[in-house]
Structure 1
Amino acid sequence: MFEFFTDRAKRAIVASQDEAIALGHDFIGTEHLLLGLAATDDSTAWEALTAQGLALVPLRAETVRVLEAAGVPSTGGQPAKDALASIGIDVEEIKRQADSAFGPGAFQYPRPAYTPRAKKVLEATVREAAALGHERFGTGHMLLGLLAAGEGGRALEVLAALGTPPSTLRADLLPRLTPAPE
């Protein structure tokens, strides 16, 4: 499926993974996808978010607030590291050796997994692009997928807390997606 994503959309996905790791989360949720889209400068999603007054730093701060209020810990994958340590595997030593052999940051453990809701966003991305007659999926389609994914997503909580209704963002975004994705 990822072969149909544009380069900018792929960068947004990587940025969402980076945001999850930076925040110490061992999962990628809708809130991380939103941050990844906000971090992808000069993309359709970034333009629409910026037009609504939404920038990466306040989005990140609100994401942290929403997650803390929900009691979501920033574990940095510690439970997985502890489990491996209990059977004699030193993740930090593996990281040091990988950094030495391949360069700093070459080894990230654990790799955050997508939450079921984040997977639904990616599925909705495909449907949104198809509804517009597009064969490739860009950041704008990802943002539409995020908005269409339904209630309960933390990304929508973040948007609501910052005073941006999904319908307003969608109305701003749709004209930006014609005729083709970036």
Structure 2
Amino acid sequence: MFEFFTDHGKQAVAASQDEAIALGHDFIGTEHLLLGLLATGSGTAAGVLHGQNVDLERARHETVRVLEAAGIPATGGRPARDALSSLGIDVTQIQRQADTSFGPGAFQFPRPAYTPEARTALTNTLSEARALGRDTFGTEHILLGLLTVPEGHALKILASFQADPAALRETILAHAAPEGT
């Protein structure tokens, strides 16, 4: 599915993983996909979100607040590291070796997995793009997909900005750019 994303779309999805790791989360949720859209700083979705005064730094803060309120801690993958350590595997040593051999940050552990809500949003990205007659998925389609997942944390974060999902959807559809964004 990733091959159908535009360059901006790929950047946003990759940035969502970076955001999850930076926040110490070992999962990628709808909130991280939202952060990824903002982190790219370009594309239709970022423009629409910035137009609604949704900014990256505050969205990061809201992500931490919303997840902590939901009882979801930032573990930084500690449980997985502890499990491997109990088997005699030192993940820190592996990271040092990978950094030396392949460059800093070459080895990330654990690799964050997508939550069911994030997978639903990405699946709905496909549906949104196809409904608009597109064969590729841009940032606008990712944002449209996020807006379809009421149980995702992205909508709670958007609500903290008083961003109305229906109004966002209308704005995105009105500004849907040509393929490649």
Number of residue pairs matched? 181
Instruction: Quote the Cα distance in structure 1 between the aligned partners of 2:177 and 2:157.
Output: 27
Question: Structure 1: which 4+ aligned runs deviate by more than 3 Å?
Answer: 178-181
TM-score for the superposition, normalised by structure 1: 0.97
Q: CA deviation at 1:180?
A: 3.3
Deviations 1:78-135 (A, max 9, x none): 0000000000000000000110111111110000000011000000000000000011
Q: How does 1:35-74 map to 2 (within 5 A)?
A: 35-74=35-74
1:93 to 2:73 alignment: no
Q: Give the conservation status (yes or no) of the 8 Å contact 1:15–1:36.
A: yes
Distance 1:121 1:20 in 2: 16
Does the aligned pair in 2 maintain the 1:140–1:181 contact within 8 Å?
A: no
Matched, 1:118 2:94: no
- Percent sequence identity over aligned pairs: 61
AA aligned opposite 2:69: A
Cα contact 1:12–1:33 (8 A) shared by 2: yes
- CA drift at 1:178: 4.6
What's the counterpart of residue 151 of structure 2? 152
Provide the TM-score with structure 2 as the length reference: 0.97
Indicate the RMSD between aligned Cα atoms, in angstroms.
0.9
Taking the aligned partners of 2:177 and 2:27, their CA distance within structure 1 comes to 33
Name the residue aligned to 1:162: 161
Q: Distance in 2 between matches of 1:175 and 1:63?
A: 28
Q: Which residue of 2 aligns with 1:15?
A: 15
What amino acid is aligned across from residue 102 of structure 2 in structure 1? F
Distance 1:166 1:17 in 2: 23
CA distance in 2, matches of 1:139, 1:50: 13
Q: Structure 1: 5+ residue runs without aligned partners?
A: none
